[in-house]
Chain A
Amino acid sequence: MRAVCTIVLLLLAASASAQQVAIIANRSVPADSLSQREVLDIYSGDVRTWKNGVPVVPFDLSQDGVVRDTFYEYLGKKSSRMKSIWMKNLLMGECQPPRTVDNEIKLLDQVSATPGGIGYLSLQSVNDSVKVLTVIAGSPAPD
Chain B
Amino acid sequence: MQFRHWKLGVKFTVAVGVVFALMAAGNLWSMSVILSLKSDLDDVSRNWMGRIIAISEINRSTADLRMRQLRYVASDSLAVLQEQGAEIITLIDQINNNRDTYEELRRISTRKPADSLYEWGLYDAFDRNWDAYQTDILSVIQSKLVGGALQTVIIGSDPPGDIFDSIRVSLNKLVEINKSYAVKAADAAEARLQAFRVASEILLIGSILMSGVFTIVIVRLITRPIRKLVAAAGQVADGELDVRLDIDSRDEIGNLAASFNVMTRALRDSRDRSVRQSAELQRQHSELQAAHLGLASQKDETDRANRGLADALHKLREAQEELLMKEKTAFLGQLVAGVAHELNNPAGALMSADDVSRRILNRLQAINAQRPEATAEVAPLIKSLENNLEVSRTAAERIRDIVSSLRSFARLDEAEVQQADIHQGIDSSIILLGTEVPNRITMTKNYGDLPRITCRPAQLNQVFYNILRNAVDAIEGQGAIAISTETDGDFALLRFSDSGRGIPADRLQQVFGFTLGQGAGRVRMGSGLIASYSIIQQHRGDIAIESTEGVGTTVRIRLPLGRS
Residues of A within 8 A of B (CB): 62, 64, 78-81, 83-84, 86-88, 90-92, 96-97, 100
Chain A residue at minimum C-beta to C-beta distance from B86: A91
Chain B: residues with CB nearer than 8 A to chain A? Answer: 85-86, 88-89, 92-93, 95-96, 99, 127-128, 130-131, 134-135, 137-138, 141-142
Residues of B near A92 (CB, < 8 A) are 85, 89
Task: Closest B residue to A96 by CB, please name it.
Answer: B142
A100-B136 Cα distance, complex, nearest whole Å: 12
A-B pairs with beta carbons under 8 Å apart, 14 shown? A64-B128, A78-B127, A81-B96, A83-B131, A83-B135, A84-B92, A84-B96, A86-B138, A87-B134, A87-B138, A87-B141, A91-B141, A92-B85, A97-B142
Question: Contact: A80 with B131, CB < 8 Å?
Answer: yes
Complex CA gap A41/B211 in Å reads 69
A96-B142, A97-B138, A97-B142 known; A87 vs B131 contact (CB < 8 Å)? no
Task: Give CA–CA (A86, B89) in the complex, Å.
Answer: 11
Q: Determine the distance from Cα of A92 to Cα of B82 in the docked complex, in whole angstroms.
A: 9
A72 CB → nearest B CB, Å: 10
Q: Which of B85, B86, B127, B134 counts the most chain A CB atoms within 10 A?
A: B134
Contacts of A83 in B (CB 8 A): 131, 134-135, 138
Does the CB pair B131–A78 fall under 8 Å?
yes
Most chain B Cβ neighbours within 10 Å, of A79, A90, A91: A91
> In the complex the two chains form, what is the Cα distance from A88 to B89 in whole Å?
6
Distance in Å from the Cβ of B84 to the closest Cβ of chain A?
A: 9
CB distance from A66 to the nearest CB of B (A): 15
A87 to chain B, nearest CB (A): 6
A40 to chain B, nearest CB (A): 16
- By a CB distance below 8 angstroms, the chain A residues around B127 are 78, 80
Most chain A beta-carbon neighbours within 10 Å: one of B88, B92, B138: B138
Chief secondary structure at chain A's binding surface? helix
Contacts of A87 in B (CB 8 A): 88-89, 92, 134, 137-138, 141
Nearest-Cβ distance from residue B277 to partner chain A, whole angstroms: 101
- Asked if A84 and B85 make an inter-chain contact with CB atoms under 8 angstroms apart, the answer reads no
| Known A84-B96, A87-B89; 8 more pairs at CB < 8 Å | A79-B131, A80-B127, A80-B130, A80-B131, A84-B92, A88-B93, A91-B86, A96-B142
Q: Which of A79, A87, A96 has the most CB of B within 10 A?
A: A87
Give Cα A83 to B129, complex, Å. 12
Complex A-B, nearest 9 residue pairs according to Cβ-Cβ distance, in ascending order: A80-B131, A83-B134, A91-B85, A80-B130, A84-B92, A79-B131, A88-B89, A80-B127, A91-B89
Interface centre among A64, A79, A84 (most CB of B within 10 A): A84
Q: Which residues of A contact B88 (CB under 8 A)?
A: 87, 91
Cα A6 to Cα B258 with chains together (Å): 81
- Which of A64, A81, A90 is the one whose CB lies under 8 Å from B138? A90
Contact indicator A84/B95 (Cβ below 8 Å): yes
What is the bound-complex CA distance between A64 and B127, given in angstroms? Answer: 13
Contact: A84 with B141, CB < 8 Å? no
Contact of A80 with B134 at beta-carbon distance under 8 Å, contacts A90-B141, A91-B141, A96-B142 already known: yes
Instruction: For A100, list chain B residues within 8 Å (CB).
Output: 135
> In the bound complex, how far is the Cα of B170 from the Cα of A80, in angstroms?
16
In the complex, what residues of A have CB within 8 A of residue B131's CB?
78-80, 83
Q: Smallest distance from the beta carbon of A69 to chain B beta carbons, Å?
A: 11
Chain B residues whose CB sits within 8 angstroms of the CB of A86 once the complex forms? 138
Nearest CB of B to A7, in Å: 24
- Distance, CA A96 to CA B130, complexed state (A): 20
A78 to B124, CA, bound (A): 11
Report A-chain residues with C-beta under 8 Å of the C-beta of B86: 91
Residues of A with C-beta under 8 A to B135: 62, 83, 100
Q: Please, which residue of chain A has its CB at the minimum distance from the CB of B126?
A: A80
On chain A, the residues within 8 Å of B96 by CB distance are 81, 84
A78 nearest CB neighbor, chain B only: B127
B496 to chain A, nearest CB (A): 178
> Smallest CB–CB gap between A75 and chain B, Å?
14
Inter-chain CA distance A74–B521, complex, in Å, is 177
Task: Look across to chain A and name the residue whose beta carbon is closest to the beta carbon of B95.
Answer: A84
In the complex, which residues of chain B have a beta carbon less than 8 angstroms from the beta carbon of A84? 92, 95-96, 134
Give complex CA distance A62, B132 in Å: 10
Distance from B96 Cβ to chain A, minimum over Cβ atoms (Å): 6
Kindly report which residue of chain B lies nearest to residue A80, judged by CB atoms. B131
Q: Which residues of A contact B134 (CB under 8 A)?
A: 80, 83-84, 87
Q: Which residues of B contact A62 (CB under 8 A)?
A: 135
Chain B residues whose CB sits within 8 angstroms of the CB of A64 once the complex forms? 128
Contacts of B99 in A (CB 8 A): 81
Nearest CB of chain B from residue A38's CB, rounded to whole Å: 23
Taking the closest CB of chain A, its distance from the CB of B209, in whole angstroms, is 60
Kindly list chain B residues whose C-beta atoms are within 8 Å of the C-beta of A90. Answer: 138, 141-142
Q: What residue in chain B is nearest A62 (Cβ atoms)?
A: B135
Residue of A nearest to B100 (CB): A81
Instruction: Report the nearest A residue to B141, measured CB to CB.
Output: A90
* A64-B124 Cα distance, complex, nearest whole Å: 14
Query: Which residues of the other chain, B, contact A97 by a CB distance below 8 angstroms?
Result: 138, 142
B90 CB, min distance to chain A CBs, angstroms: 10
Name A84's closest neighbour in chain B (CB-CB).
B92
Chain B residues within an 8 Å CB radius of A96: 142
